[in-house]
Homo-oligomer: A and B are copies of this chain.
Amino acid sequence: MDLDEVFNPSSVVVVGASSDERKMGYQCVKSLVEAFDGEIYVVNPRVRRILGIDAYKSVKQIPGSVDLAIIVVPSSVVLPVVQECAEKGVKGAVIITGGFKEASAAERDASMDGELLQERLAALAEDAGMKIIGPNTFGFVNVGVINASFSPVFNGLRKGRIAMVGQSGGVCHIFAYMAMNEGIGLSKVVGLGNRCNVEFCDILEYLEEDDETDTIAMHIEGIDEPRKLMDAARRVAKRKPVVAYKVGRTRAVERAALSHTGSMAGEYKLYDAAFRQSGVVTVNSCEELFDAAKILSLCQDCLPKGRRVAIISTQAGPGIILTDECVSGGLQLARFSEETEKKLKRLLPPLTIRENPVDMAFIRDAALWLEVVRTVSADDGVDALIIFNLYHPSFLLPPEEIVDARRSYGKPLIMCTSFPHELMLKEKIKLEEGGVPVYGTPERGAKALVTLMRYAEMKRRTKGG
């Protein structure tokens, strides 16, 4: 059996469904009811109906076939439930319940050996040929298809081309919430939790072939077989950008990580080096993970050919910040050709700075702005453009025109603007759908561009080697 049947089931059962809306067993049903088109079953021996769905007393009693089980029962009964699912022919399971390897590692409860429990779960799943996401996970979302998680709020996710895979459900949530806040689409969000028999390498292989995913973001605490992950990452990164946020720079997290998903955080630096060697982009915060995934998804068809950046700004101050950030990140200020300089001098009045960084303060004419953007884009000495815009996008830099310039010249064009979010969300989405990533501050935009340049260089090295 294949992970595809886990991510695209026709029928789903929630075992441990609840009618108490504070419980995960209720929220899981809500996630499905609001958005899943297939057959939904719920199992709870003590309740008759949940959210309008008749409850069965056990999985066995369900009349039709079931592809995927979402299991939210106490850890002591997970194994019998999985056994029952196996007998029923269920092909995959999401086990939200905790109390497995992570509980054993923390020795939180001497009466229960979580590690042993997980081993038995793995053996059972192996016998049944059943793929298990978790245990100890929030679940997963295949956007537009199924929300197999305890977070119905994810039914508000837009469909997009970035997949997020996290060891922690919490970090998956942070990433997906950012996407919702920014109007960015995602393809899949997967919380791996304790990784009973679906590891990072398995998901990477699945996502490598997933036509809906063009970029993969990962959050990793620590795993048992890092080499398998690196091998998979190296192969996948040749086809799609992979970004990794490996936590655990300090020793203080070791214990916490162990008792989270049952794995040591491991040597941060070793992971970091191994990822870079495998062609994986590494980052150091949730925000950087999101910003990097966004630029790699939107600009992979126009990777910069070098490090020479042109900066254009509606105001000098943010232009200076862009310069500072780009240069400290290893980029170079592009030197404009004589032709470009001549044209800019003709186009722009003396009060404007007509060299790179171009300061267009006081130019309040959209046609002129566009001509400058096109002139700079056409310069062979420019590998990428980054623009700071103080105003509403429609005022000087209309999304359609900017998208057109980005497409015509095939160079990455990054837009930085912190204009009040709700007043520009529509235009921001238009820009990003057209391949122009938008960032809320000049620093974030510049950092993302640095990441893109590094990725492009890594790609060139790999091809050359």
Shortest beta-carbon distance, A132 to chain B, in Å? 19
Other-chain residue from B98, B138, B443 in contact with A285 (beta carbon distance below 8 A): B443
A167 to B253, CA, bound (A): 41
Contacts of A23 on B, CB cut-off 8 Å?
364
Other-chain residue from B102, B170, B443 in contact with A390 (beta carbon distance below 8 A): B170
Contacts of A287 on B, CB cut-off 8 Å?
441, 443-444
Other-chain residue from B108, B362, B419, B420 in contact with A350 (beta carbon distance below 8 A): B108
Contact at A168–B317, with CB atoms within 8 Å?
yes
A221 to B315, CA, bound (A): 13
Answer whether residue A408 sits at the interface, using C-beta atoms and an 8 A cutoff. no
Contact with B along A49-85 (1 / 0, CB 8 A): 0000000000000000000000000000000000000
Number of interface residues of A (CB under 8 A): 82
Contact at A250–B324, with CB atoms within 8 Å?
yes
Contact at B286–A441, with CB atoms within 8 Å?
yes
Other-chain residue from B249, B354, B364 in contact with A324 (beta carbon distance below 8 A): B249
Answer whether residue A313 sits at the interface, using C-beta atoms and an 8 A cutoff. yes
Contact at A168–B316, with CB atoms within 8 Å?
yes
Answer whether residue A213 sits at the interface, using C-beta atoms and an 8 A cutoff. no
Contact at A256–B319, with CB atoms within 8 Å?
yes
Contact at A422–B422, with CB atoms within 8 Å?
yes
Contacts of A421 on B, CB cut-off 8 Å?
181, 421
Contacts of A365 on B, CB cut-off 8 Å?
22
Contacts of A170 on B, CB cut-off 8 Å?
313-319, 388, 390
A398 to B313, CA, bound (A): 43
Shortest beta-carbon distance, A397 to chain B, in Å? 14
Other-chain residue from B171, B314, B420 in contact with A318 (beta carbon distance below 8 A): B171
Answer whether residue A11 sits at the interface, using C-beta atoms and an 8 A cutoff. no
Contact at B253–A320, with CB atoms within 8 Å?
yes
Shortest beta-carbon distance, A125 to chain B, in Å? 22
Other-chain residue from B98, B177, B221 in contact with A420 (beta carbon distance below 8 A): B177
Contact at B98–A252, with CB atoms within 8 Å?
no
A179 to B388, CA, bound (A): 18
Contacts of A102 on B, CB cut-off 8 Å?
316
- Closest chain B residue, CB of each to CB of A290: B441
Answer whether residue A180 sits at the interface, using C-beta atoms and an 8 A cutoff. yes
Contact at A22–B362, with CB atoms within 8 Å?
no
Answer whether residue A99 sits at the interface, using C-beta atoms and an 8 A cutoff. yes
Answer whether residue A261 sits at the interface, using C-beta atoms and an 8 A cutoff. yes
Answer whether residue A333 sits at the interface, using C-beta atoms and an 8 A cutoff. yes
Contact at B361–A98, with CB atoms within 8 Å?
yes
Q: In the complex, which of the residues A109, A252, A442 has the most CB atoms of chain B within 10 Å of its own CB atom?
A: A252
Answer whether residue A238 sits at the interface, using C-beta atoms and an 8 A cutoff. no
Shortest beta-carbon distance, A364 to chain B, in Å? 5
A109 to B250, CA, bound (A): 54
Contacts of A353 on B, CB cut-off 8 Å?
106, 108, 256, 259
What are 19 A-to-B residue pairs whose CB atoms are below 8 Å? A24-B364, A98-B361, A138-B315, A156-B420, A166-B317, A167-B317, A170-B316, A170-B388, A173-B390, A177-B419, A219-B317, A250-B324, A250-B328, A253-B323, A256-B323, A256-B353, A285-B441, A421-B421, A422-B422
Q: Which residues of A contact B (CB under 8 A)?
A: 22-24, 98-99, 102-103, 106, 108-109, 112, 138, 153, 156, 166-171, 173-174, 177-178, 180-181, 219, 221, 247-250, 252-253, 256-257, 259-261, 265, 285-287, 313-321, 323-324, 327-328, 333, 350-354, 357, 359, 361-362, 364-365, 388, 390, 395, 418-423, 440-444
